[in-house]
Amino acid sequence: MIKTFTDSLLDSYQRYPDKNIIYLMKSGFLDQKISYRDLIKGSANYTAELNRKGIKPGEVVILVLQHGIELINAYFGCILHGAIPSIMPFLTEKLIPERYRNDLTSLIKITKPSAIITYSDFNFEIQSAISDKSSVREVILVEKINLCDDFPTFRGAFRDEKDIVLLQHSSGTTGLQKGVALSHRAVFNQLESYQKAIRLQSNDVIVSWLPLYHDMGLIACFLMPILLRIPLVIMSPFEWVRAPYKLFTSISLYHGTLCWLPNFAYNFCADKIRDHQIDNINLSSLRAVINCSEPVRWESHQKFIARFEKYGLNLKALAACYAMAENVFAVTQSGIDSLLKIDEIDREDFQQLKKANQTSKSNATIKMVSNGRPIENTQIKIISEKGDFLPERQVGQIVIKSNCMLTEYYNRMDETISSMLDGWFKTGDLGYIADGELYVSGRIKDMIIVGGKNIYPQDIEFIVMKVEGVLSGRVVAFGLYNEKQGTEEVVVVAEVDVESINDKEKISETIMREVAQNSAISLRNTYIVKPKWLIKTSSGKIARGANRDKYLKEIDEAK
């Protein structure tokens, strides 16, 4: 009986050693074919090294590696050993190393890893983030991994199905301090339900450019295909963002059938790919392109289909999914083998009464895209601010209950407890249910989603507060939706005590630069204001929503 990831991997290895499971793309190289034999052999080298260094099953190992064969082997090397892998996003060239070190330090502090796996070139960065008292006993360098002829004992096979198998984090200081811990059983339960929801079959081919530190990339486009023996074509997000056309040439070449994308990627691909880059491609093999991890926009879908229809993309392939790491991945799914349902609702009722009423033609409307029905063994409800269940078509917080929930926020009992309400997990997202289907409309929590990536405004505000000239504690950051790009962008409002336009511009430039170099995002706008401009709540906190409204009003009036 298969109870652990290790059981599943070894079963595939024994039964289908020569089956190619991963096609790894790398610019300037031929695609690398990886069979189950290659995967287990490559990963076993890491397992042996972890064993040799005295890393125990159940201990956390952080992987600081770029997307590529080392990351894949190190990940499964940890799994086969029974250690708990956690991927830390790699340092980008614009990020200040010092900032990266701070993020790494905060990840280490909460997660208490016993080892970190990285490149020799990166050892210095890692060492400087580790203090004497840190939990980290070993830094393992991929270049020094020995090749072993015989397999070590795979202690991962002795784990219990309820044991934690992996951790997932979102980016930034705040996100890194809140790791979602998932058990073997939770992941298997999710895959069991989700494969039915998407009618997964052995002739499917998944094509992905998604980062592996994110649930959509890690679960849907990495662990699911590898554990369920569905071929996976994978490229690094770093390469895709520079050459988005390669996603489509790969789908055509490998007859890809399934692809997951965050909403912004629909706009990005439609806008930034030239015809000559995708001459003669055929996208008719795609049976589902699944929009997930940002609010789904009808306009983005229209743009995408208009651009790629002539290459054989079927309108029926457009699908949507509501997912979160806390439920392993999917909560609901829609549009598999059928057209996505669109709910056209009255704009005024929606904004003022928080009701999603279908309407007479004369009023202004919003086209909402359905995220579908819950997958098996997952329930959804909508609750009011007081915590009461709401009827259909009333907007409130989405709460979920399932057989694939997180075990906990790792070493954060406080966060784990506060996220639950009478056995329901509070998602922090807003939405409504109509005819049993879920429509997601916004968020209660202040989190901003930029290009599918979760950004915590407090991380951005913290960076801006350190800029010289900005008044202490007088900063707010929030997200604004950009229709052209199909995603949110971050705006910062900062109070300063200078008068001249020149000085203000200088501060604004510094803020833009500091945020770019200290976080994973670039600001859309920095709005410099006089002292006492910002609105605070009665408890003295900066009210993000109220300040966002004030900003929008002023910008509108200035037009």
Partner 1 sequence: MKNDEIIVKLSKKIAEEILSQPNREILSDEPLITSGLIDSFHLVDLALIVEDEFGVRIEDTELNSNCFNTISQLANLIIGRLNK
DSSP 419-444: TEETTEEEEEEEEEEETTEEEEEEES
Radius of gyration of the chain (CA): 24
CB closer to partner 1, 419 vs 487: 487
Where does this chain touch partner 1 (CB under 8 A) — which range of 297-305, 395-403, 425-433, 510-518? 510-518
- Beta strands 487-496; 523-529: pairing state: parallel
What is the nearest approach in angstroms of partner 1 to the Cβ of residue 246?
Answer: 8
CB closer to partner 1, 208 vs 332: 208
What is the nearest approach in angstroms of partner 1 to the Cβ of residue 239?
Answer: 6
CB closer to partner 1, 52 vs 272: 272
CB closer to partner 1, 262 vs 335: 262
CB closer to partner 1, 541 vs 559: 559
d(Cα 43, Cα 39) in Å, to the nearest integer? Answer: 6
What is the nearest approach in angstroms of partner 1 to the Cβ of residue 27?
Answer: 5
CB closer to partner 1, 332 vs 487: 487
d(Cα 69, Cα 243) in Å, to the nearest integer? Answer: 20
Where does this chain touch partner 1 (CB under 8 A) — which range of 212-220, 223-231, 392-400, 517-525? 517-525
Site string for partner 1, 207-246 (x = CB under 8 A): -------------------------------xx-xxxx-x
Q: Which of 272, 347, 466, 530 binds partner 1 (CB under 8 A)?
A: 272
Where does this chain touch partner 1 (CB under 8 A) — which range of 17-25, 106-114, 168-176, 511-519? 511-519
d(Cα 63, Cα 413) in Å, to the nearest integer? Answer: 24
What is the nearest approach in angstroms of partner 1 to the Cβ of residue 242?
Answer: 4
d(Cα 124, Cα 145) in Å, to the nearest integer? Answer: 18
d(Cα 92, Cα 89) in Å, to the nearest integer? Answer: 9
Whether residue 265 contacts residue 304, with contact meaning beta carbons closer than 8 Å, is answered with no
What is the nearest approach in angstroms of partner 1 to the Cβ of residue 525?
Answer: 9
Size of the site for partner 1 (CB under 8 A): 22
What is the nearest approach in angstroms of partner 1 to the Cβ of residue 315?
Answer: 26
* Residue 115 three-state SS: strand
Helix (H) or strand (E) holding 65: none
Half-sphere exposure of 268 (CA within 13 A, CB side): 17
Whether residue 425 contacts residue 403, with contact meaning beta carbons closer than 8 Å, is answered with no
d(Cα 366, Cα 369) in Å, to the nearest integer? Answer: 10
What is the nearest approach in angstroms of partner 1 to the Cβ of residue 440?
Answer: 23
d(Cα 435, Cα 358) in Å, to the nearest integer? Answer: 12
Instruction: Tell me if 513 contacts partner 1 by CB under 8 A.
Output: yes
Instruction: Tell me if 418 contacts partner 1 by CB under 8 A.
Output: no
d(Cα 412, Cα 168) in Å, to the nearest integer? Answer: 14
Whether residue 347 contacts residue 365, with contact meaning beta carbons closer than 8 Å, is answered with yes
Q: Which of 18, 28, 310, 362 binds partner 1 (CB under 8 A)?
A: 28
CB closer to partner 1, 386 vs 484: 484
What is the nearest approach in angstroms of partner 1 to the Cβ of residue 270?
Answer: 13
* Residue 61 three-state SS: strand
Instruction: Tell me if 423 contacts partner 1 by CB under 8 A.
Output: no
d(Cα 463, Cα 515) in Å, to the nearest integer? Answer: 6
**Nearest-CA neighbor of 463 among 413, 515, 423, 503?**
515
CB closer to partner 1, 101 vs 513: 513
Half-sphere exposure of 110 (CA within 13 A, CB side): 24
Instruction: Tell me if 253 contacts partner 1 by CB under 8 A.
Output: no
Distance linking the first and last C-alpha atoms of the chain? 66
What is the nearest approach in angstroms of partner 1 to the Cβ of residue 521?
Answer: 7
Q: Say if residue 402 is exposed, middle or buried (CB neighbours under 10 Å; 0-12, 13-18, 19+).
A: buried
Q: Which of 144, 202, 203, 274 binds partner 1 (CB under 8 A)?
A: 274
Q: In which region does residue 346 sit, left (phi positive, over 0), alpha (psi from -120 to 50) or beta (all else)? A: beta
CB closer to partner 1, 245 vs 298: 245
CB closer to partner 1, 46 vs 268: 268
Neighbours of 552 (CB within 10 A): 13
What is the nearest approach in angstroms of partner 1 to the Cβ of residue 272?
Answer: 5
CB closer to partner 1, 164 vs 515: 515
Site string for partner 1, 91-120 (x = CB under 8 A): -xxx--------------------------
Where does this chain touch partner 1 (CB under 8 A) — which range of 126-134, 303-311, 380-388, 513-521? 513-521
CB closer to partner 1, 505 vs 554: 505
Site string for partner 1, 437-466 (x = CB under 8 A): --------------x---------------
The residues near 272 (Cβ < 8 Å, ≥ 6 apart) are 244
**How far, in Å, are 351, 397, 424, 535 from residue 441 at the CA level?**
11, 10, 20, 25
| DSSP-assigned beta bridge partners for residue 34 | 22
Instruction: Tell me if 522 contacts partner 1 by CB under 8 A.
Output: yes
The residues that touch partner 1, with contacts defined as CB under 8 A, are 27-28, 92-94, 238-239, 241-244, 246, 268, 272, 274, 451, 513, 515-517, 521-522
